[in-house]
Structure 1
Amino acid sequence: MENILSEYDKSPGIISPDFEKMDLHLPKKAVFAFLGEKRIERFAFARGGEKVGTFVSLTKDFPLWMIKADKEELCVLQAPAGASAAVLLLERLYAYGVEKVVALGCCGALEKLAENVFFVVRKALRDEGTSYHYLPSARFVTLDESAANIVEGVLRENHVPCESCVTWSTDGFFRETKEKVKARRAEGCRVVDMECAALAACAAYRGKVFAQILFTADTLHDLSHEQRAWGKESRDKALLMGVKAAERL
């Protein structure tokens, strides 16, 4: 029997992401932040943000914030951890008008990297299940080059040093074994996250623009785990850079 991850079907799903038929009209650009809800709320209020709707799930409600950036309105939404949950919300953003998304969040270091190093993802290893519902089976998904270039440029213009990277997107936070870490490093992965590959695959399937900012938090570089401070120093900066980058897309 064929591997289930090879059973790609590009036909439309039975359930549409706008099945709720909400009276919601979002701007074309959004920031999808893997950060705490209160942090996002404070950020939005500080910029005169307005709550314009809520995406409801069985376990949590996700407020949609509209903020005024330098030149236009943007949507800011908290992203849930994990590929499947994150894509459920990304799909709904697209369904209600969003065309371009900058996601941001922390990552684990696979090589010797300081905490709070910023990266713009160029390619993601698909070690999660969700991406295989959006693209044919392959080891990697390549992110939008033009969008990544713009995001890198924005970070540098704002004096935030950054590098390009390949990330390992995995569903198995507690299954990042020593052998897997060594193997992923050999394939060029510098960091590990849980969602990027799936988000990029969803964007590609829907014909949308997507970019991902990551900043280093914990580390596995010496084949043991060091929590460090989980990238706390970078969280507000990443959110601000996400907004500035989204505005430029």
Structure 2
Amino acid sequence: MQFPNFKDKYAGDSLFSPEDHWKHKIERGDPPTFHPPTGAIFCYQEKMMEYVLKTHKTTKVKGFLDEMYLITETNDQVAIIGGLSKGAPAIVTIMEQLIALGVKRFISIGIAGTLQKGINIGDIVICDKAIRDEGTSYHYVKPSKYAYASEKMIERMKKSLDTHNQKYFVGTSWTTDAFYRETVAEVNHYQKEGVVTVDMEASALFAVAQYRNVEIGVIFTISDSLAELQWDPRFHLKEPSEKLEILYQATVSILFR
């Protein structure tokens, strides 16, 4: 069985597009009421969003998403988007709509589980490529084991973290749709391959960026571990939340330039 099921998937034009979404809203008298930013930060954790809104001046965008804010210190050229559902289909839909408005650069900041014993809770990982074990990416680019981050974005993130005196790792993530079907055999296999993290969005974000010719970077802090072939959740500790704050500080300037 092949995937996608329709063999000529990649030769066909889409029946409707993100631009059609905005055209429909305009026709219904509900146009975007904000000047689109050039960069966007995807924020999955509530505590990180609370930190940004508490410590930085922002303007809430009306008429598009429940939690989208333009960041004043960037002259409203960068937006942060919270309240996101987990998983590739949801985040890709939002990314597509933002690209249609003119957003060209994205950074996804989130938490991930580690597969490696040498990676600790609260460590920072720049994802340079991701194993495509989700379904969304295959509707954008032809099958391959990996999808890749934007090289320029990787270098900018590394440079910014160096400037902020932050230790970090660079490595591969395993992107999967099924949080509760990460099997022992899979973890053992990817651990031996040197895969650093497991997440639910990265490979799809990379595929969309490739397809739409925009830049994307994905960066994690470690919140749980599968390295001992059992789940060790540490979401509640202060280290992941503190590192998310640092990651915001280190990455917002990358998008504002």
TM-score, normalized by length of structure 2?
0.86
Q: How does 1:18-167 map to 2 (within 5 A)?
A: 18=19, 19=21, 20-21=25-26, 22-23=31-32, 24-36=34-46, 39-44=48-53, 46-55=55-64, 61-69=65-73, 73-78=77-82, 79-112=84-117, 113-167=119-173
Q: Distance in 2 between matches of 1:222 and 1:130?
A: 30
Q: Which has the larger radius of gyration?
A: 2
What is the alpha-carbon root mean square deviation over aligned residues?
2.1
CA deviation profile, 1:132-182 (whole Å, cap 9, x unmatched)? 011101111121112101111101101121111100000011011110001
Runs of 4+ in 1 over 6 A off after TM superposition: none
Are 1:245 and 2:247 counterparts? Answer: no
- How far is the alpha carbon of 1:208 from its aligned partner? 0.4
- How far is the alpha carbon of 1:233 from its aligned partner? 3.0
The structure in which a higher percent of residues are strand is 1
Q: Distance in 2 between matches of 1:3 and 1:225?
A: 30
Q: How does 1:6-17 map to 2 (within 5 A)?
A: 7=7, 8-9=9-10, 11-17=12-18
Q: Distance in 2 between matches of 1:45 and 1:233?
A: 14
- How far is the alpha carbon of 1:213 from its aligned partner? 0.8
Q: Distance in 1 between matches of 2:243 and 2:105?
A: 23
- The DSSP-based 3-state class of the residue aligned with 1:66 is strand
Please say if residues 69 and 79 of structure 2, whose CA atoms lie closer than 8 Å, have aligned partners that are also in contact: yes
Percent of aligned positions with the same letter in both sequences? 28
- How far is the alpha carbon of 1:194 from its aligned partner? 0.4
Are 1:234 and 2:240 counterparts? Answer: no
Read off the aligned partner of 1:85 and give its amino acid letter. Answer: A
Query: 1:205 maps to what in 2?
Result: 211
- The DSSP-based 3-state class of the residue aligned with 1:215 is strand
TM-score, normalized by length of structure 1?
0.89
- How far is the alpha carbon of 1:39 from its aligned partner? 4.2
- The DSSP-based 3-state class of the residue aligned with 2:67 is strand
Please say if residues 44 and 67 of structure 1, whose CA atoms lie closer than 8 Å, have aligned partners that are also in contact: no
Read off the aligned partner of 1:9 and give its amino acid letter. Answer: Y
Query: 1:2 maps to what in 2?
Result: 2
CA deviation profile, 1:36-87 (whole Å, cap 9, x unmatched)? 1x642551353221012343xxxxx432211123676311112321011111
- How far is the alpha carbon of 1:88 from its aligned partner? 0.8
Please say if residues 3 and 138 of structure 2, whose CA atoms lie closer than 8 Å, have aligned partners that are also in contact: no
Are 1:175 and 2:181 counterparts? Answer: yes
Q: 1:5 to 1:103 in 2, by over 3 A?
A: farther
CA deviation profile, 1:170-229 (whole Å, cap 9, x unmatched)? 001101111000111233311100000001101110110111111111000000001023
- How many residue pairs match? The answer is 242
Q: Distance in 2 between matches of 1:219 and 1:205?
A: 32
The structure in which a higher percent of residues are helix is 2
- The DSSP-based 3-state class of the residue aligned with 1:125 is strand
Please say if residues 177 and 200 of structure 2, whose CA atoms lie closer than 8 Å, have aligned partners that are also in contact: yes
